[in-house]
Amino acid sequence: MERRSLLQAAFALASVALLSGHSPYRYWSALKASHWLVGAARDDAEATRLADAASALLAARVPQSQAMHVEAENDREIVQLLRTRQLELAIMSIDAANDALLGSAGPVRESPMPLRTVVPFGPHLLVAREDYSTDKAARIAASLAGFRWRDGSAPTRRSGPQSMVPLHAGAIRFKQAHEPKSGQ
């Protein structure tokens, strides 16, 4: 009898836990609301390294951002997270960002993704959706301007395709505010 009661109680607790809405989506939504998440594809080591360094720099320069680096398996997953608004910022190679912009990533053609460049990093870009906050994008562009690795070097652009991803309105605002005025 005691064993039966114990099993029923365990089953009841398990049911309550499963049916009470404990899901990773609540945690993710809360995390996304309180942190600037910078995604990168795990299979792109340079993007992962950049996302880690950029999020650390953002967290230091804009403390309320609580910026942190998150990973997905590959660029296709990063694009899906951006598309579904589960992720707002990502570091992608220029090739991957161009493919997402055109909707030609992977074997299955998808609708074009309205990406914009917030900050270029040599052969990679920090991208956001076109409708990402202009104010946040400008703050990010300002915080990451002149990015350098710890050894003082900057990410270098190798030969390859040019980015087709236009600048985000916030990046344009930052750039215009920091361009030398003509006639001075």
Bridge partners for 167 per DSSP? 117
Comparing 161 with 87, which gets the higher pLDDT?
87
Which CATH architecture describes the domain 27-149+160-178?
3-Layer(aba) Sandwich (3.40)
The 3 state secondary structure assigned to 89-119 is: EEEEEHHHHHHHHHCCCCCCCCCCCCEEEEE
Mean pLDDT over 105-128 rounds to 86
- Domain range list for the chain: 27-149+160-178
Q: Six-digit token pair at 24? A: 């990773």
pLDDT, tens only, 41-82: 999 999 999 999 999 999 999 989 899 999 999 999 999 999
Contacts of 48 (CB under 8 A, 6+ apart): 40, 41, 42, 69, 71
Single out the residue of 133, 134, 42 nearest to residue 81, CA to CA. Answer: 42
pLDDT, tens only, 128-179: 999 999 999 999 999 999 887 777 776 776 666 789 999 999 999 999 998 8
pLDDT grade, residue 19 (50/70/90)? very low
Report the predicted TM-score, pTM, of the whole model to 2 decimal places: 0.79
